[in-house]
Structure 1
Amino acid sequence: MNKNKQASMLSFAKDLPNICSLVGLFCTVLAIYFAIGGQFLGSIIAILWSVLFDWYDGIIARKMKGRTKEQGVFGVQFDSMIDIVSFGVYPAILLLSYGNYEIWFIPGAFVIIAASAIRLSYFNIYGLIDSETYMGLSVDNNALILAFVFLFKNIFQHSTFSILLYSVIIILAVLNLSSIPINKFSGKWIYVLVAYVLVMTSVFGYLLWRQL
């Protein structure tokens, strides 16, 4: 292709699925900001919405007509880049922040980022096992599971929960890289996700309000 005919980089940002992806990335930036500041409930709310936008960008892309091959390829790569930030880097920052940035939390942070990078790179080459099956746990589930775990934060002392959080993140990394076939959540599962995000947002929002 003649370089003079190549689309500009910013032209892809006007593509509706990519706009949705960018909104999800903004939610992740908020989640990271709150996590670094120790506002974990707000952080969890933000990352849940990041997952929701991550699901919707694909739904929008599949329903849109007239998208070019280049837009489709760019969208796949763009989504993958955002996924590693949202579901690899973010859990690492969450772990480090909750662990008060003590040095022994660094290996766990590295493991979840590395696992996400390996998994997403592998997925970009091989894709699904079949149209309905992932190999291993999809990285977006990392955020959904971590949100559920944070429901029990107040039951444990800080040091105990930090060990639990560390353990869960290592387990997630193992599952991300596993060869276990896991059904793809698609179709009507989006309604389950929407309900989950709304319910969890309400719960964590209430807990956050009680802290004020």
Structure 2
Amino acid sequence: MKKRKLFIGYYHYGVILTYISVAAAITGICFSVGGNRERCPWVGVICLLISGVCDAFDGAVARTRKNRTREDQMFGERIDSLSDLIAFGVAPAMIGFGMKINRWFFIPVYAVFVLCALIRLAYFDVTEEIRTEDPNCGKRKYYEGLPVTAVAFGVPIFYLIATMFPEFSVARTAVMLFGYLLIAVLFVCPFKLPKPSIKGIVVIMAVLAVILAVLLTVHLKVLS
């Protein structure tokens, strides 16, 4: 007899990084938009970096679980894509909005960015499911189009460049909007991008650590 669950879903360590990624993304959105208090898009960028690190390792952590059922595996795959849309689609768009690049005619740029992320994720899910129907398919060696996780690398760089210019300046706005549009186009361009090796992942983590250090140094100095 199948054991009755207290809640639907899965709550083991194999999905914990995905849940942390979503929690970080929501935190980043709240700090970026601000509401009745001062907006802190730089906190949103830090949360984006956290989501990026979680996404880099969530698959590896999930695969360490033994005796995974097909249902368990499919749940992990689906929730990973849903969390990626929030963390690397919606949350990054709110960073730009929180930088006061929020006039009504900028909204289509954010909409295109999120839509391209959505299309990229859905297309990857479909092609991956078809590919893995072949029992001899092996591991994927290439990505088609820019993976949405790359946002955790790209948007912070554009943010650091943009904040070199005065608030409300044309240059500051142009840098961020160019970054969003460039990344959006790369999401849906049909080019092949090799999957990073272990060394490549280490380099990416090192760059993210440098970006985090710069953000903390600059903004904590301002706050003090």
TM, length-normalised to structure 2? 0.85
Give 2:221's aligned amino acid.
Answer: R
Instruction: Using the TM superposition, name which of 127-136 and 11-20 deviates more.
Output: 127-136
Task: Say how many residue pairs are matched.
Answer: 209
Cα distance per residue 1:101-130 (max 9 Å; x no partner): 210111001101110111111111002987
Q: Which residue of 2 aligns with 1:178?
A: 189
2:197 equivalent to 1:197: no
Q: Which residue of 2 aligns with 1:102?
A: 103
State the Cα deviation string for residues 28-52 of structure 1 (Å, max 9, x = none).
Answer: 1121122112212221111101110
Moved more, 129-138 or 189-198: 189-198
Whether 2:125 is the aligned partner of 1:116: answer no
How far apart, in 2, do the equivalents of 1:67 and 1:21 lie?
A: 17
Alpha-carbon offset, residue 9 of structure 1? 8.7
Matched, 1:70 2:67: no
1:152 aligned onto 2:187:
no
Structure 2, unaligned stretches of length 5 or more?
Answer: 132-138
Structure 1 pair 67–41 and aligned structure 2 pair: CA distance change class (3 A)? same
> 1:186 deviation in Å?
4.5
Which of the two has greater helix per residue? 1
- Please give the alpha-carbon distance, in whole angstroms, between the structure 1 residues aligned to 2:112 and 2:199: 33
2:31 match: 34
User: Offset at 1:66?
Assistant: 1.8
The residue aligned with 2:11 is: 14
SS in 2 for 1:134: strand
| Cα contact 1:99–1:105 (8 A) shared by 2 | no
For each residue in 1:53-112, what CA deviation from the matched residue of structure 2 results, as whole angstroms up to 9, or x when unmatched?
111111101222222111111000000000001111112212222244210111001101
Find out whether 1:131 has 2:136 as its counterpart.
Answer: no
**Aligned residue type for 1:185:** P
Change (3 A) 1:137 1:206: same
Deviations 1:2-30 (A, max 9, x none): xx959759454322121111111111112
SS at match of 2:102: coil
Looking at structure 1, the residues matched to 78 and 7 of structure 2 have their Cα atoms a distance apart, in angstroms, of 15
Compute the displacement of 1:185 (Å). Answer: 2.2
Give the 4+ runs in structure 1 shifted more than 4 A: 4-9
Instruction: Normalising by structure 1, report the TM-score.
Output: 0.89
- Percent of aligned pairs with the same amino acid: 27
After superposition, the Cα gap between the structure-2 partners of 1:125 and 1:62, relative to the gap in structure 1 and judged at 3 Å, is: same
